[in-house]
A and B are shown apart, each in its own frame.
Chain A
């Protein structure tokens, strides 16, 4: 069933179709919410809130954008509003413009041994990145959204998105080198 048919069914009052929509997009919503939130225990509740918001606003959805982009936008805004409500201080600290870039320009190790542990370390480093970096990285690398779609979802300009992606990669690279040397 296409997204348009699915929306039509939901608008006719078919709740089973909405369950189908939830199953189709829960992975996308989970990835966005889980990357943005630091408290794991809140993730499922916020994911539920996202889908309730999707249900409430489905009447306003115009086929100008893809359904996935629209749902991702709701997921991003719902999580951001939640964070603004409970973690004001963290958001201020997390401002990417104030983020200090590491300047480690030491020689790279010749070869890295890709252990599971190293991957986990890097994943933890991703969690430490500013929230905007984490979001942009998730949307671009995991969900494969284009720059234009990420701009639509986050209302961050394409130039800034590219800069966040590059800075995030640079930070991770520096951290990885640091860990390897350690």
Chain B
């Protein structure tokens, strides 16, 4: 019984021993540099959203201000835009796509290119 307890204590002691492997001294630095290579979708997408938001806000502000100066012209412009609705949608989509490519996609492809170069160097 005493030997049994003794063995149990010994096993406990060994079980509490951590594995003998250790990490390199500059492990946290290595992780830091690896993290800098993580593509930040969040920041690029928020930059894109911010640009769209600023452009929309500017257009609305200019439209409202101009409405007080020359309301008739603004109404005419709206009528004209309604007439060319498909063209307007096409232009807007193209513009948004160009902006998205510039703010997000190009950065992503550049990031992939850099990763690829690092891999081969």
Contact = CB atoms under 8 A, between A and B. Distances in A.
B76 interface: no
Interface string A101-132: 00000001111101000010011001000000
A111 B38 contact: no
Contact of B38 (A30, A40, A43, A55): A55
A176 B11 contact: yes
A48 B31 contact: yes
A169 B11 contact: yes
Nearest to B11: A172
A33 B34 CA distance: 19
A40 B2 CA distance: 38
Contacts, number: 98
A141 B27 contact: no
A56 interface: yes
B16 A48 contact: no
Contacts of B17: 119, 123, 142
B28 A23 contact: yes
Interface size, A (range)? 35 or more
B7 A141 contact: no
Q: Chain B CB within 10 Å — which of A22, A27, A35, A40 has the most?
A: A22
Nearest to B43: A13
A138 B8 CA distance: 17
A137 B15 contact: yes
Nearest to B35: A55
Given A26-B23, A109-B3, A15 B35 contact: yes
A49 B29 CA distance: 14
17 contacts: A30-B19, A30-B21, A34-B19, A44-B23, A52-B38, A109-B3, A111-B6, A112-B7, A122-B14, A126-B14, A137-B15, A142-B15, A142-B18, A169-B11, A172-B14, A176-B7, A176-B11
Interface of A: 15, 18-19, 22-23, 26-27, 30-31, 34-35, 40, 43-44, 47-48, 51-52, 55-56, 59, 108-112, 114, 119, 122-123, 126, 137-138, 141-142, 169, 172-173, 176-177
Listed from nearest, the 10 A-B pairs whose CB atoms lie closest are: A34-B19, A141-B15, A22-B28, A108-B3, A122-B14, A34-B21, A51-B31, A19-B28, A22-B31, A55-B35
